[in-house]
Amino acid sequence: MGQNSTYLLKINLIPNPKKARKEIKSFCFEKFIDSDLTNYRDLLEEILDEYPPRYLEVAQFQYYDDVLKIYPEVHSDQELIYMFEKHSQKKVVEMFIAYCDPAEPYEPITEYYEDSEVHIEPENNIDQD
């Protein structure tokens, strides 16, 4: 290969809004990985071993595509490879792992501001306390 395959992942863990304390919007950390030696399942497992979801929560994995200005979801090795290809110049990937209830439809991240809450596109307008 010959090319540097080390990437810096800037990972934002987003708690389930129904279970998290109001003052906690997200938790951020950084991780260096070798894209040639990493697969989707191992990467997600490594992160979730260190920062496990709560009981009856699942993790949803997205990243920020700064060219298209969107937040694609990642569910497979192929999508992970595509994520690395999109960031091959900078070698830095802004990732998001959202913990959510598997019984409810996942509402993907559509906007994110470091100093504010995560913004998601709600599928309905039902307020829940």
Domain assignment present for residue 61? The answer is: yes
More confident residue, 88 or 115: 88
DSSP state of 61: E
More confident residue, 82 or 118: 82
Which CATH number does the domain housing residue 31 bear? 3.10.20.90
The average confidence (pLDDT) of the chain is 83
More confident residue, 127 or 102: 102
Domain that holds residue 48: 6-120
pTM of the model as a whole: 0.77
Domain assignment present for residue 60? The answer is: yes
